Structure 1
Amino acid sequence: MLLSHLKDTPREARGWRLWASACAVGALGIARGLDEGIISGCLKQHSFINTFGFNDNSPQEATIASQLQLGSVAGSAIAFFLCDRIGRLRTSMLACLLWIFGTAIWMTSAGIHGTHRPGNYAQLLAGRFIAGLGVGFTPVVSPVYLAEIAPKAIRGLCVCIFSGSVYIGILLGYWSNLGSATHYADNDAKQWTIPAGINFIFAGITFISCFFAKESPRWLIKQGRYEEGRKNLSYLRNMDIDHPYIANELEVMEQQIEAEKRALEGLNLFQVIKKLVCNSNNQYILFLGVGIQVLGQLSGGGVYTVTVP
């Protein structure tokens, strides 16, 4: 089935330029996965428990773990608007900066040297909330960017880069906890600060990669920057700017953007939401999108990744 779809997509359009940009932004999924993997181990590390003075299986464990989720809720709401205002790549870079800043705050809550010093619990929660803001950006901006730069035949595959990177992050978090627990004593805060510091590596790599990725052609055209969008699409498809495939894709893109503008013309935010929820043409799509996410959460998979040490 996939191969039959690919016959209408030139090989050049599926080249390294597309995958480089897709991987640069798709790697944002590591942010969520890495935290889930790391915090699950931190909450069971004796060094972490002793630093912040709480008992194993206390309510504080849930508060610490869920603080990032709380920040993610706020972050996703902010990214919903910011993504269209400043662009997909700038929003991705801002997500990385919040991720780095928040991690630095909660990682240093044990003190600069970390060993034999009482931890600052309020700083820990504040840092995890700020990091959560950045993590909350990722499921909004990354899938949108991936869907917009990908040829339609492999759009689903490209979007799955984000999902796959979440699970890679979880594995990296688990392995880093295992390594630190093996090589550092239970009274040494390095046992949990070193795994937490791995966030800097991936946030930094993703941030730098965004400088070399190309902004979404669709977003540029939507902003009236037609020539930039045309050049970026030509680059991503590795084709001449006047190639018929590029011309056809641009035409379809413009038609879709114009249709969206006509559909939303003169409507405020409340009216847009009402149209989304009440329009019978949208309800099935909305039901599928929301239903998949809700059922995925109700399956309980997230409980295991956050609580299994």
Structure 2
Amino acid sequence: MQALNTFGLPAVAEYYTEIHAADQLKQLEQWLKHHPMPLLLLGGGSNLVLADRVPGLVARIMIRGWQLSDLPGDHVRLRVGAGENWHATVERSIRQGLYGLENLALIPGTVGAAPVQNIGAYGVELKDRISAVEVFDRHEHRQRDLTPEACRFGYRDSLFKSSEPERYVITAVEFCLARQFTAEVSYAGLRDGLGDGPVTSERVFDTVCRIRRTKLPDPLDIGNAGSFFKNPVVSVEKYEQLKHRFQNLVAYADTGGYKLAAGWLIDQCGLKGFALDRAGVFAQQALVLVNLGAAHREDIEHLSMHVQKVVQERFGVILEPEPRFYP
């Protein structure tokens, strides 16, 4: 599975299969009934830190599909199969004059993996663009459509990640997009990157891609899982304490407190470019951990724990990893 995870970690699955149609999931459940074992659902492998040996069955979701239907006004409903590439989906939607996903360009992974993490970037979260998530319910053995409310979306979180991580298999995602473009440029870095001139969907898309490429390494060149740590949210009191000690603290108002920039915290600890064993902190972006070559699961673990320890000692803030460590 080394080629199936963006960290490029060596991993061997005990059993492996591919799911190309939602109907296969009933067969999968029948097989598991007679061969009880752990099940790992795999998308693009962009949010995983795998052990050398992966017990049980790995089922790679490769369901394709692209369906459009009109909604009242200038909106459309777009249903996309879970196995479609996320960035390619964003690019295709813009080409067809469907707007709303521009800010989420170049995020690695598949469409089906996107709701699990509630991906977000440059002022947009996926939950704001989803109208339904089509799933196979492993408890009830049937297909269901879940509303955004039922998905319990939170910051880099969802029902599929925290509440009931083993219950649902995402088979398709339904988006509500617009035929009239409305720019979302509240994120300062995106506004600065756009500069002067008319703000079009194509320019937002190109600018997001350009910014991401300057900050994040291509997994094909150097193994990584994108942003490795969540931006921690602290109380107003904790924020004020930190602001008093660190005048240039990077933070944003959030519900009930402030969201701190995890990359800034790591950078202030002098860890940008730091290496430990066969893993390191990316020299251009402290929020990204990278495979320096022949790294294994334990190398990523050791580096992650070291970064958490150093940041907690200096700022009194606990960083939480975004990727899933499996098993």
For Structure 1 versus Structure 2, the TM-score category normalised by the shorter chain is under 0.3
Report the structure number with the largest CA radius of gyration: 1
Q: More relative contact order in 1 or in 2 (CA 8 Å, sep 6+)?
A: 1
Q: Which has the higher strand share?
A: 2
